[in-house]
Amino acid sequence: MQGVRLTPTSYIVLGLLSWVAEATPYDLKRMVAGSVGNLWSVQHAQLYTEPERLAKAGYLTEDRERGGRRRRRYAITERGRAALREWISMPTDDFTELRDPGLLQLFFGADPAELASTQLHVHEEKLREYEEVRARGSSDAPAGPRLALEAGIGHEREWIRFWRRLAKG
């Protein structure tokens, strides 16, 4: 019931469960894809182990179907909500972690123009995807995801500026 370390992954699970009455790991997986998954990648296997861990510590309740798929349904507890609230109210000064394989190749001497043409494609595609999500979003959607999406769009544009500059020598 006590003493687990809460990681960013934990807060993703708690955060998503604070928006819905209950969810199975598979539901979480779909919620993550196309939203928070863009700013913090989560392995699907974690969405099975992490809720289990959180349930053991009292942040969630677990309820398992008998027969059939034997889905586990999780719901957030008051203790879980409190932990989430507390985390949200303490602005972090932890730093952005960036992992960009293309940039790594550039660092170690890859041909800038050639690399740029590959990377440009990838980032243009991603930008298109984000802009589509934005277009679909209703105006009464929660502010958080909308703002995070704006951040993502801004960064994709920056990537595109950067690689475009390299592409033309």
Query: Which residues are near its own copies by CB under 8 A?
Result: 8, 11-12, 15, 18, 35-36, 38-41, 84, 87-89, 91-112, 114-115, 117-119, 121-123, 126, 142-145, 147-148, 150-151, 154-155, 157-159, 161-162, 166
What does the angle CA 162 – CA 164 – CA 169 come to, to the nearest 5 degrees? 100
- CB 74 to DNA: min, Å: 10
- Whole-number minimum distance, CB 150 to DNA, in Å? 25
Closer to DNA by CB, 44 or 134: give it.
44
State how far the Cα of 15 lies from the Cα of 154, in Å rounded to an integer.
Answer: 24
Contact status: 87 vs DNA (CB under 7 A): no
Identify the bridge partners of residue 64 per DSSP, sorted by sequence position: 72
User: Closest separation between CB of residue 69 and its own copies, Å?
Assistant: 29
Query: What is the footprint of DNA within residues 27-86 (CB under 7 A)?
Result: 27, 41-46, 48-50, 53, 67-72
Report d(CA 20, CA 8) in Å as an integer.
Answer: 19
CA–CA distances in Å: residue 91 to residues 4, 18, 46, 85, 140: 21, 19, 25, 11, 25
Q: What are phi and psi of 29, to 5 degrees?
A: -55, -45
Residue 115 binding partner per list DNA, its own copies, none, with a CB distance cut-off of 5 to 8 Å that depends on partner kind:
its own copies
Which of its own copies, DNA, none does residue 25 bind (CB under 5 to 8 Å by kind)?
DNA
d(CA 13, CA 55): 11
